[in-house]
Amino acid sequence: MKILVIGSGGREHALVWKLAHSPHVTQMWCAPGNAGIAQERLAKNSSLVECVNVSAADLPKLLAFALEKKIELTVVGPDNPLALGIVDLFQKNNLRIWGPNQKAAQFESSKVFSQNFMEKYGIPTARAGTFSGSAAAKKFAAELNGKCAVKVDGLALGKGVLICANEIEANKAIDEILVAKNFGAAGANIVIQEFLEGVEISLHAICDGKTAKLFPTSQDHKRALDGDKGLNTGGMGTYSPTPFLNDAELKKIGETILSPWLFGCAEEKINFCGILYPGIMLTKSGVKVLEFNARFGDPETQVYLTRLENDLVELLDASVNGALDKIELKWKPEVSVCVVMASSGYPGNYEKGKIIRGLDDAAKLPDVKVFHAGTAKNGNEIVTNGGRVLGVTALGKDLKTAQTAAYAAVEKIYFAGAQFRRDIAAKALKY
């Protein structure tokens, strides 16, 4: 099977790596990919994965490429092409593609849509209101004493959620979005949610339109610095499974969210094929969904796919074909930990082009896989090319072993200004 993967981050490297294990794959491309992706070889015939210099948002060029190469399955990593309707476009051109169509991708591309859907179908979520005018928004924020999350409706590169501790902060956030229009059209509407306290974890479920199969739990570390301090980032590390829910609790929570979600999708004629990734808070008064994403998490993918035992091509095929009910998900019992190494300054401004050393030494360690996120080739060197640079991932028989192995690999790698958190999975070890 000829496969095209769209995207260039750590998530896409993990997808390519796992797909490359499958004996079904005869040729694979990634657009635009990165230096690590370009080093992967297919299990079937040892051929290298080819990176194609086309951006993940350039739908016409991606379509032309897929038609020319007669791609048999396209796998979409990031949210942006999904929100732009890549799935609808490919399907119109009789190409098989894995991911939600534009209507289904609204679970991520519109927070107003998601919030309304959750309320309509009884999915447990935060108390919330949706607004386009600042006066009504401020009145609602005042009812919450200003303790709230103000959320831009549309996609905002992970920067569209402003956490407020009091009314002054809430009014400022509302003015920035609705009056100053700092987020442009994406911020024409907002959702304001009450501020929830508890343990935040990620759920993932693979869906085919009728069936949703839940993955084990994972936990991201969104803040840049140790102890959950500093700015919000795309994610500085993760691990799976978490100790916060046992299997029975996870099953129950999964049903609480996924049963009404599947019912609502059927009612609204939404055919969701892909990954539904709810961000949830375990609060004293039960589970609450903070938001839905409509694709694999990054870096959650790195820990999930190092644990997944199923053939990923067969799994994605079943998702596209509506046959997930026939598949049983199988996971390695080991724990996986991913530590993200980022450029100095990230998530603010950062420089690119720093030479990365020690990748081969890290790769020699047992049970370690270094996924590339923002890397590029410069002559014979691999250099930094993004904010998040690497996702150093290790499997271990327990959390401590996996964490120790991941940090041992991080110690082997060097680039100027490398920053990473030293406490990935620490909360779980204390639990």
Distance of CA 405 to the CA centre of its chain: 23
335-342 and 388-396: which strand pairing? antiparallel
Contact status: 193 vs ligand AMP (CB under 6 A): yes
Contact status: 279 vs ligand AMP (CB under 6 A): yes
Interface of this chain with ligand AMP, residues 82 to 141, rule: CB under 6 A: 126
Which 3 state secondary structure label does DSSP give 292?
strand
Contact status: 290 vs ligand AMP (CB under 6 A): yes
Please answer whether residues 222 and 279 qualify as being in contact, where contact means their C-beta atoms are separated by less than 8 angstroms.
no
Please answer whether residues 118 and 289 qualify as being in contact, where contact means their C-beta atoms are separated by less than 8 angstroms.
yes
Which 3 state secondary structure label does DSSP give 183?
coil
163/323 with CB nearer ligand AMP = 163
Question: Helix crossing, 312-321 with 10-20: angle to 10°?
Answer: 100
Integer Cα distance of 268 and 261 in angstroms: 10
Contact status: 71 vs ligand AMP (CB under 6 A): no
Contact status: 200 vs ligand AMP (CB under 6 A): yes
Helix H or strand E encompassing 152: strand 148-152
115/384 with CB nearer ligand AMP = 115
Work out which of 4, 89, 196, 409 binds ligand AMP, going by CB under 6 A: 196
- What is the total count of residues that contact ligand AMP (CB under 6 A)? 13
Contact status: 149 vs ligand AMP (CB under 6 A): yes
Contact status: 291 vs ligand AMP (CB under 6 A): yes
Contact status: 221 vs ligand AMP (CB under 6 A): no
Minimum gap (Å) between residue 92 Cβ and ligand AMP: 31
Residue 222: closest CA among 306, 342, 124: 342
Work out which of 54, 161, 312, 390 binds ligand AMP, going by CB under 6 A: 161
Integer Cα distance of 354 and 315 in angstroms: 37
Minimum gap (Å) between residue 196 Cβ and ligand AMP: 4
235/386 with CB nearer ligand AMP = 235
Minimum gap (Å) between residue 127 Cβ and ligand AMP: 9
Integer Cα distance of 368 and 366 in angstroms: 6
Contact status: 428 vs ligand AMP (CB under 6 A): no
Distance of CA 368 to the CA centre of its chain: 21
Residue 16: closest CA among 391, 273, 357, 421: 391
Minimum gap (Å) between residue 354 Cβ and ligand AMP: 29
Contact status: 40 vs ligand AMP (CB under 6 A): no
Residue 65: closest CA among 78, 77, 50: 50
Minimum gap (Å) between residue 300 Cβ and ligand AMP: 12
Q: Residue numbers of the site for ligand AMP (CB under 6 A)? A: 126, 149, 151, 161, 163, 193, 195-196, 200, 222, 279, 290-291
